[in-house]
Amino acid sequence: MPTESDTHYDPSLGNKFIFVTGGVMSGLGKGITAASTGRLLKNAGFDVTAVKIDPYLNVDAGTMNPYQHGEVYVLEDGGEVDLDLGNYERFLDIDMTSDHNITTGKTYQHVIEKERAGDYLGKTVQIIPHITDDIKRRIREAAEGTDVCIIEVGGTVGDIEGMPYLEALRQFAHEEPEENVLFTHVTLVPYSKNGEQKTKPTQHSVKEVRSIGLQPDIIVGRCEDRLEPKTKEKIALFCDIPTEAVFSNPDVEDVYHVPLMVEEEGLDQYVLEHFGLADEALPEGERANGWREIVTTEKDEEVDIALVGKYDLEDAYMSIHESLKHAGFELGADVDVHWVSADEMADGHDGQLEDVDGVIVPGGFGMRGSEGKIEAVRYARENDVPFLGLCLGFQMAVVEYARHVLGLEDAHSAEMVEDTPHPVIDILPEQYEVEDMGGTMRLGEHTTVIEPETLAYDLYEDTSCTERHRHRYEVNPEYFDQFEDEPLTFSGTAGNRMEILEHEDHPFFLGTQFHPEYTSRPGQPSPPFVGLVEAVLEQADENETDEAETDTDTETEVTH
C-alpha cells in the first residue's frame, strides 16, 4: 500500500473493488477501460492490481487456438492466461500470478475436488453458495495487500455462463461497505444512419444488469467519437445514474492513449470521490506523468517489420505488436508491422520480404507454416536483414542453419517430423512421460546465463536474464558439437539447454527460446526488441550514408 509520505492513505479504509462488466457485444474494450482506470489510480499513488474472470470451462487458456481467444499470455509463475492480463501487466507495470485469472473450469474443479475429498459431507453442493463463495474467496485473495483491485468479468451481461459470477458480485457488494465497491458497465453507443448516437442498446444492457440485482455506478460508452452532452444526459436519465457518471471512451490512435482520454473525462477523479479517496490521493500536480511522456513521444523515424506467422490475427501476436511499440517509444520510431503468411513462404519469399527492414519469426506449434518460417529465416540470414526469432522462431533458425550451412539434409524438429534423420530440435527429457496437454510445458520464468562479449550481453547489459518460457522442445544436445566454432553461436544457456543464439557475421541475428515479449512494458522495453529496431535504424543510416557518398562520387566524376 502507499506509504504515508506517498498518499496519506489510511489502510483502515480497506480494499476498494472496481467491477467491470460489458454489455451489447463482446470485444468492446472492457479490459483496456479497466486497465486505463487502474493506470490513473496508480498515477495518483495507489497500489493497484487486477483480476480477469473468464467464464469458459477451460481451466486455463493454454490449450486454446489463438483464433478462438487470441494469444496465450504467460505469467511469471507459468500461468497460461487470457491476453487481457498482458494488458494489465503493461498498463499497471506489475507482475501478476495465476491467482489473478479466475475461470469456470478452475473454480468448478476446485469445488468438485473438495466435494470428493469429503469437505462438504452432508451438504448438497450447489452453485449458490459453494461456487459463488469460491469466486468471492479468489477475488479477496488476489486483492490482498493492495489498495484497489479491478475485476473484469469476461463476456457480455446476459450470457448464461456468466450468471454465477454476476450473482457472486451481487453477494460481494452486499457483504462489503458501500463505499468500498464500484460497478463500471462498458457498453456500445452506435451511430444511426443519420449520424445520431443511439442509447437504446445501452438502456437494454443496463436493464439486464439491474435485473440481476446490480446497479452500475459508472457507465462508459464506447463510440467512434466522444459522447455528446445530450447522449450522456439520456443515458443518465434512463439508467438512473448522475450525468457526471457517464463517460466517453472514443476510438483512439493507440490503446496507450486511452488513459489520457478518460483522464480528460474525469473518470479517475469520480472514482476517487466515490471511494472517499480524493483526499488520500496525491495532488494532481504531483501525480506521475511518465506514462503521458512515454506514449506521446515524437516519432522521427519509421521502420517496417515483417511478422512471419501462421495466424492472420493481430490478437494472436498481441505481445509482439506491443513490444515493438515499446521499442519505438524508446527509440523515437514508428514501427509498422506487416503480416506475412508462413504458409505462403514455403516455396520462397516471392518478394514479400524485399521491402521490409526487419523480420520476426514468432512462436507457435505444429507443422503448418514451419517450412515458411524456415524460408523466412534463410532470407534474413543470407540477405543481412535484421532478424529476431522467438521460441519456435529460435528453433526454426537452428533447423535452417543445420540444413543450409552444416549440410544436414532434411534436418527438422521432432515435433514436426518424428522420423527426421537429423532431429536438431527434440522433446525436453521431462516431457517424455507427459500425457496431459494443459499446463505441462516448460512454463514461466527461468534464468538464462549470458556469455560476455556477445550481442545478448550488449542487449541485456548483464551476464544473466530472467524471461518467461512456453515450450516442450529444445535444441538437441547431440548436435551441440556440430555448432561449435560456427558463426551461429549459442550465447545464452540454462544448464545444458540452449536459450539464445546469434550470428556473428550479421548486422543483427538473434533467437531466443524464451518469450521476451511477455515482460516488455512502456518505459521498460524488451532488450531484444530494442536491439532489432535499433539495428534497423542503424542499417538505414548506413544505407543513406552510402547513397550520399555515391552521389558525391558521381558529381565529382561529372565535374572532372
**Active-site residue, 517 included:** yes
Single out the residue of 351, 407, 341, 350 nearest to residue 371, CA to CA: 341
For residue 204, pLDDT over 90 is answered with yes
Q: pLDDT tens-digit profile of 417-436?
A: 999 999 999 999 888 878 77
**Active-site residue, 239 included:** no
Please pick, among 76, 80, 502, 517, the residue that the annotation labels catalytic. Answer: 517
How far CA 129 is from CA of 58, 133, 168, 172, 467, in Å, comes to 22, 6, 9, 12, 40
Per the annotation, where are the binding residues for UTP? 26, 198-203, 234
Cα distance between the two ends of the chain: 75
Handedness of CA 366, 82, 88, 27 (dihedral sign): positive
Annotate 378-436 with DSSP letters as a single string.
HHHHHTT--EEEETHHHHHHHHHHHHHTS--TT-EETTT-TT-S-EEEEE-GGGTT---
H/E element holding 377? helix 370-382
Q: Identify the residue whose cell numbers are 476446485.
A: 110
Judge if the upstream peptide bond of residue 283 is cis by omega within 30 degrees of 0: no
Per the annotation, where are the binding residues for CTP? 26, 159-161, 198-203, 234
Specify whether the CB–CB gap between 58 and 80 falls below 8 A: no
Q: pLDDT tens-digit profile of 492-521?
A: 999 999 999 999 999 999 999 999 999 999
Judge if the upstream peptide bond of residue 229 is cis by omega within 30 degrees of 0: no
Please pick, among 100, 274, 326, 515, the residue that the annotation labels catalytic. Answer: 515
H/E element holding 3? none
Collapsing DSSP states into helix, strand and coil, what is residue 185? strand
Mean pLDDT of 264-284: 94
Percent of the chain with pLDDT over 70: 95
How far CA 479 is from CA of 373, 399, 410, 426, 484, in Å, comes to 21, 11, 14, 11, 9
Per the annotation, where are the binding residues for L-glutamine? 67, 364, 392-395, 415, 472
H/E element holding 261? helix 258-265
Per the annotation, where are the binding residues for Mg(2+)? 84, 152
For residue 288, pLDDT over 90 is answered with no
Q: pLDDT tens-digit profile of 185-202?
A: 999 999 999 999 999 999
Q: What is the DSSP letter of 282?
A: P
Collapsing DSSP states into helix, strand and coil, what is residue 121? coil
Mean pLDDT of 439-460: 95
Task: Name the H helices within 60-162.
Answer: 66-69, 84-92, 104-116, 132-143
**Active-site residue, 179 included:** no
Residue 331: CB atoms within 10 A of its CB come to: 19
d(CA 37, CA 20): 10
For residue 522, pLDDT over 90 is answered with yes
For residue 482, pLDDT over 80 is answered with yes
Q: pLDDT grade, residue 4 (50/70/90)? A: very low
Q: pLDDT grade, residue 122 (50/70/90)? A: confident
d(CA 119, CA 136): 18
Please pick, among 326, 391, 467, 502, the residue that the annotation labels catalytic. Answer: 391
Residue 348 backbone phi and psi in degrees, to 5: 120, 160
Per the annotation, where are the binding residues for ATP? 27-32, 84, 252
Q: pLDDT tens-digit profile of 43-58?
A: 999 999 999 999 999 9
Per the annotation, where are the binding residues? 26-32, 67, 84, 152, 159-161, 198-203, 234, 252, 364, 392-395, 415, 472
Q: pLDDT tens-digit profile of 387-421?
A: 999 999 999 999 999 999 999 999 999 999 999 99
Single out the residue of 33, 432, 525, 78 nearest to residue 265, CA to CA: 33
d(CA 518, CA 505): 29
pLDDT for residue 559: 61
Percent of the chain with pLDDT over 90: 80
**Count of H helices and E strands in the chain?**
18, 21
d(CA 189, CA 197): 6
77 vs 554, higher pLDDT: 77
CA angle 45–48–51, rounded 5-degree value: 170
Handedness of CA 247, 30, 308, 534 (dihedral sign): positive
d(CA 13, CA 276): 9
Single out the residue of 134, 152, 142, 138 nearest to residue 49, CA to CA: 142
pLDDT for residue 10: 63
